[in-house]
C-alpha cells in the first residue's frame, strides 16, 4: 500500500486516473509528464472510510 507524505515544500502529488496518464507519466519527456500535476476535477476523489483500519491483515 503506497504511503504519501511531504517530500519538499514544492512537491505536488499526481493522481493518475487513466492508462494514458500512466503511460505519459512513466515514459514521456519530463516537461510533458509534469503537465499532469494539476488539481483533480471536483468529485473525482472520494473519501470512502475514516478512522483506523478495521479489517484484519490477510493470512500468509
Instruction: Decide if 53 is inside a domain.
Output: no
60 compared with 44, residue with greater pLDDT = 44
Quick: pLDDT tens for 40-49.
888 888 888 8
Instruction: Decide if 48 is inside a domain.
Output: no
Cα-based angle 17, 21, 26 (whole degrees, multiple of 5): 125
* All residues at 6 or more sequence positions from 45 whose CB lies less than 8 Å from its CB, including other chains: 15
Q: How far separated are the first and last CA of the chain, in Å rounded?
A: 17
SS3 34: helix
Instruction: Decide if 29 is inside a domain.
Output: yes
Domain range for 31 is 13-39
Instruction: Decide if 25 is inside a domain.
Output: yes
Q: Provide the number of structural domains found in the chain.
A: 1
Quick: pLDDT tens for 3-51.
555 566 666 678 898 999 999 999 999 999 999 988 888 888 888 888 8
| pTM recorded for the entire structure | 0.56
Amino acid at each position: 500500500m503506497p504511503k504519501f507524505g511531504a517530500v519538499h515544500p514544492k512537491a505536488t502529488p499526481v493522481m493518475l486516473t487513466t492508462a494514458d496518464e500512466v503511460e505519459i507519466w512513466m515514459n514521456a519527456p519530463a516537461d510533458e509528464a509534469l503537465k499532469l500535476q494539476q488539481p483533480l476535477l471536483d468529485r473525482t476523489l472520494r473519501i470512502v472510510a475514516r478512522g483506523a483500519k478495521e479489517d484484519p491483515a490477510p493470512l500468509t
